[in-house]
Amino acid sequence: MPRIGALLCLVVAASGAAHAQGENDTSTAYKGPPVTMLRDGGLGAIDLAGKRAYVEFQNSPRLSTLLARRAQSLGAVVVTTGSEADVWIEAKGEFKAAREYGNRRAQADVGEVFEKAGAVQTTGLRQDVMFSHGGAALDAAQATVAANLLSAVADASGFRGWFNNLVAGDPDGFCFRGCEYKQTAAITLSVRQASGAPLGSLSVAASTSDRKLLPLPLIEAALKEALGYLSSSPAAVGGSMEYEGATQ
């Protein structure tokens, strides 16, 4: 009994720490490693003054509103339907993350992530359940069958993820190596005439590595960079650029 009590105390103590260390960090106050920015393409100088603009950020009314405000600041009259517009301003994005430990991956639409306040679903390899038994030792084949069966039950019931998050704050349990997610939020911004003739297209990607998923800070960095190029002033027309910066 003393050993069981000690184990329960360990689980309770670890679960308390887990509440402060979730897999998703939805705060935009990023204080991790520098963010690498990569730009491809360009918009050039676009005169929106007095023009009717239809504005949309894919799958995000909130980001569409931010994009519309930027267009209005440049003198555009934002309209609600494409048939009324002289110019279409459209944006979309994708968030990707991957880490070695657990082969855990994430891929999501930026608009959907923003609407869900930074929530990102991850997927990973199934991990076999470690267990002990009081009977005779199993041979290798029997042990594999038993472990896989318990693993399948744990996966199907959702118990494994619940327990790992409770104890370690991570769906794959405690991590000691390969723990950082290499993650990127990429946004594409394009402007075209109502006829369909392109006026410019720009892609901006914000990347970093961190033990936590940081979708909102990276989306914020990429969006800020992209909107900066939507301007009536001469801007980079094309090519690519890479540099390191930090979100504020």
- 78-107 pLDDT per residue, tens: 999 999 999 999 999 999 999 998 888 899
Write the CATH number for 220. Answer: 3.30.160
Q: Does 204 reside within a domain?
A: yes
Bridge partners (DSSP) of residue 205 are 38, 186
Query: Which has the minimum average pLDDT: 54-58, 133-137, 165-169, 240-244?
Result: 133-137
Q: Is residue 8 part of a domain?
A: no
Taking the CA atoms of residue 137, residue 140, residue 143 and residue 149 in that order, the dihedral angle to the nearest 10 degrees is -160
Q: Quick one: pLDDT at residue 248?
A: 43
> CA torsion sign, 137 to 140 to 141 to 144?
positive
Domain presence at residue 111: yes
In a domain, 117, yes or no: yes
Residue bearing the bigger pLDDT, 178 or 21:
178
Report the predicted TM-score, pTM, of the whole model to 2 decimal places. 0.69
Question: Does the residue 19 lie in any domain?
Answer: no
Place of tokens 């931010």: 66
Q: What mean pLDDT is predicted for residues 167-176?
A: 65
Greater model confidence, 8 or 62? 62
% of the chain at pLDDT higher than 90: 48
Query: In total, how many domains does the chain have?
Result: 1
Question: How high is the pLDDT of residue 148?
Answer: 52
Q: What is the mean pLDDT of residues 210-218?
A: 91
b/e code 78-109 from CB counts within 10 Å (16+ = b): bbeeeeebbbbbbbbbbbbbebebbebebebe
Residue 101 domain-assigned?
Answer: yes
With respect to residue 3, please indicate whether it lies within any of the assigned structural domains. Answer: no
Angle, alpha carbons 95-159-106 (nearest 5°): 10
CA angle (44, 45, 48) in 5-degree steps: 130
Determine the structural domain holding residue 184 and report its residue range: 25-124+174-245
Residue 189: inside a domain, yes or no?
yes
Give me the pLDDT at residue 183, please: 96
Average pLDDT of every residue of the chain? 75
pLDDT tens per residue, range 60-74: 999 999 999 999 999
Specify the pLDDT at position 111. 96
- 115 against 127, higher pLDDT: 115
**What's the pLDDT band for 175 if we cut at 50, 70, 90?**
confident
At residue 203, φ and ψ (nearest 5 deg) are: -120, 135
